[in-house]
Amino acid sequence: MSTPQSIARSELILGGQKSGKSRRAELLARQWLAQSPAHRALLVATGQAWDDEMRERIARHQRERAARVPGLATLEEPRDLAGALARHGTPETLVVVDCLTLWLTHWLMPVAAAPEYEPNRPPAQDWQAQAALFFEAIRQTPGPVVLVGNEIGLGVIPMGREVRAFVDALGTLNQQAAQACERVTLMAAGLPLTLKAP
């Protein structure tokens, strides 16, 4: 993966599983940190460990990330992305949100064991309101913001109603994120394709 020419005010990085999207976000963070000793970088992680496989996956990602970008701090925030940006966004801080897909999953398909689980909550309205707050927070954040998300709408149409609804919602969220960001990059096989540039 080549070094980016510049860091956009905001960038959405989309791709499939293991496409290199998180690596590109890390590359941007590493480049940002190298530009000035005053710069900081924060990863807002939306994933949660609800089973052994996910716990091991998160631990492995943390180890590998620490080796690749030692200066990248981590904040676990599965739901309140707008609040995370408001609290931690500064002119000197690059914020990486990884990833939008898991964030949407927490809103539309919450795990019953989660502390915030509310089976009678209307999730569709909640996630749309939260997305509006989040995209406004991106506009207000003084430093660069990098969003990572999955592009899952290129395969076969899912059989189940709930899964189809999730794919539709994610497509809508990705479109909103693309409109909100200055740059949009599609990752495939570790290679970036610029869809939108500042």
Distance between CA atoms of 12 and 25, rounded to whole angstroms?
Answer: 9
Instruction: Give, for 183, the enclosing helix (H) or strand (E).
Output: strand 183-188
Structure tokens at 139: 């506009």
CB 111 within 8 A of CB 48: yes
Structure tokens at 43: 């990863």
Query: Number of C-alpha atoms within 13 angstroms, CB side, residue 150?
Result: 18
Active site residue 106: no
Amino acid letter, residue 7: I
Distance between CA atoms of 94 and 88, rounded to whole angstroms?
Answer: 9
The count of other CB atoms within 10 Å of the CB of residue 75 is 13
Out of 39, 61, 88, 106, the active site residue is 61
Structure tokens at 78: 């599965």
Q: Which residues are catalytic?
A: 61
